[in-house]
Chain A
């Protein structure tokens, strides 16, 4: 923990005596290692410490922020998963034709353009010019789910753009593999109609790699949340970490980063379980 925390909080023009008192109050005048040991021992017992900036416990801030980010991520996923899979399936069905190429280049481009570029354009077009959507993702107290959703659509779009390419690409690959597989041919030979075959066999197989993409992209998504939440003025985990970094609020910053690590472990686990449930080869692995 470099720098003088009290000084950083009170500003350059504050009286040295005031800075000293504050540092003493917060314990930031002790050796760094002692502070760190203190913090770690607190963390493992579930005490995430006190925020330097707000002089109140970190935990409630973290809870609200994680919940808010989860809402935003949920909206993004609900939009992007069907869209991505649909795009991938279409591309696979038109494999090698212009539709496929266009989808692939568009998907790739959408995926790599930074969120702040797409976000600013969205704010400008839909928030300021057309006024179709609120540009602030924060809703008034007591707003119902629909209002919340209305506030979250615009901020979710940059995330959708980022994820669309990945999911579409994975879905396309999974779809192609499935289309070429023996069981599809068997199914067609058995007399099932083409849409039925796609629905029953192919989609499920195409979903599998998509799930692993979602799992691996979660981390990346959280990184993207920093920018989105700042831009759309939303109190999630990304903006929590950003403000903590700006204010040198180390307990808040550490707790935020730790929780993201934990979140990563959790999503990876969930994705593995889901994958296993959906994948017959793993599910019946013991019998094959």
Chain B
């Protein structure tokens, strides 16, 4: 297997992917939210933080498409800009966990033996606890901040990625190119990251996409229970958490649009992950 054929394979994959409707929908949704996160503050009709106390809790209208919240802030602007924090925290957490997990998985798969055994035990231990619970424990101990949230998610997702990478590496381990590199007395770092890594990249990417979906889910959940993104961010989970007592009084617009935003983003990412995964099974 060399990089050229791999690249050609990738191009073919992409072409096949773009023929899948659900994959396309996923890409459109995710790109929309990424654009909102990047350029949102310049696109929205109102400053998402500007209060207008005398026009609070107005139902959706032409002036305010999604109505206004308790402080008279424009819900539409807040939903758009609300993409920013979650799309910063979750992807960074995912990248961190992928790096960590890949390094761990390469080490476990390549060396095997005692190292693999020991690391596998740790991985199993981490996997025995739900991320939300681990996060609660860690955030209680370390205090809440976006950075702690990222680190906690990175650590609790890394084992899953490590497992995937490990099994991929075990398969690669037997190939001649690895043996050849060993014969050339390349150093271990070179063998792991320059020789093996490019060949196990596809499963890593799939796993990372799936993890990104989970990361968004986790960050939103943590924000909802008060341990994630902190006010005054217009974050979706946070807005829902501070407004859901209002829905019984008829102010549904303070919650429903944020809910739809979270749901659409997570569904979008999972449609993409699903598309890529389906490809690998074909």
Contacts and interface: CB of A to CB of B under 8 A. Distances in A.
Interface of A: 1-2, 105, 108-109, 111-117, 120-121, 124, 128, 219-220, 222-224, 226-227, 230, 241-242, 245-246, 248, 253, 256-257, 260-261, 264-265
Of A116, A242, A256, most buried by chain B (CB within 10 Å of CB) is A116
24 contacts: A2-B142, A108-B267, A108-B270, A109-B263, A112-B213, A113-B266, A113-B267, A114-B224, A114-B237, A114-B262, A116-B221, A116-B241, A120-B244, A120-B259, A219-B129, A219-B130, A223-B131, A223-B132, A224-B130, A246-B140, A253-B137, A257-B129, A260-B129, A260-B130
Contacts of B262: 113-114, 117
Nearest to A219: B130
A117 B49 CA distance: 24
A241 B136 contact: yes
B127 interface: yes
Nearest to B243: A120
B114 interface: no
Given A105-B22, A120-B255, A265-B128, A226 B240 contact: no
B177 interface: no
B172 interface: no
Contacts of A253: 136-137, 140
B220 A114 contact: yes
Contacts of A1: 141
Contacts, number: 106
A220 B130 contact: yes
Contacts of A220: 130
Q: Nearest 7 pairs between A and B by C-beta?
A: A223-B130, A223-B132, A264-B128, A117-B259, A245-B140, A245-B136, A112-B266
B133 interface: yes
Interface string B109-149: 00000000000000001011111110011011110000000
B159 to A, nearest CB: 12
Contact of B140 (A112, A128, A219, A248): A248
Contacts of B58: none
Main secondary structure of the interface of B (DSSP, over half): helix
Given A114-B266, A117-B259, A230 B225 contact: yes
Contacts of B267: 108-109, 112-113
A105 B25 CA distance: 11
A251 B109 CA distance: 38
Contacts of A113: 262-263, 266-267
Interface of B: 22, 125, 127-133, 136-137, 139-142, 213, 217, 220-221, 224-227, 237, 240-241, 244, 247-248, 252, 255, 259, 262-263, 266-267, 270-271, 274
Given A113-B267, A117-B262, A227-B225, A264 B129 contact: yes
Nearest to B135: A223
A242 B224 CA distance: 12
A227 B129 contact: no
A219 B128 contact: yes
Nearest to B218: A223
B266 A222 contact: no
A245 B227 CA distance: 10
Contacts of A230: 225
Contacts of B221: 114-116, 226-227
Contact of B274 (A108, A224, A226, A245): A108
A230 B222 CA distance: 12
Contacts of A121: 259
B225 A226 contact: yes
Contacts of A124: 247-248, 252
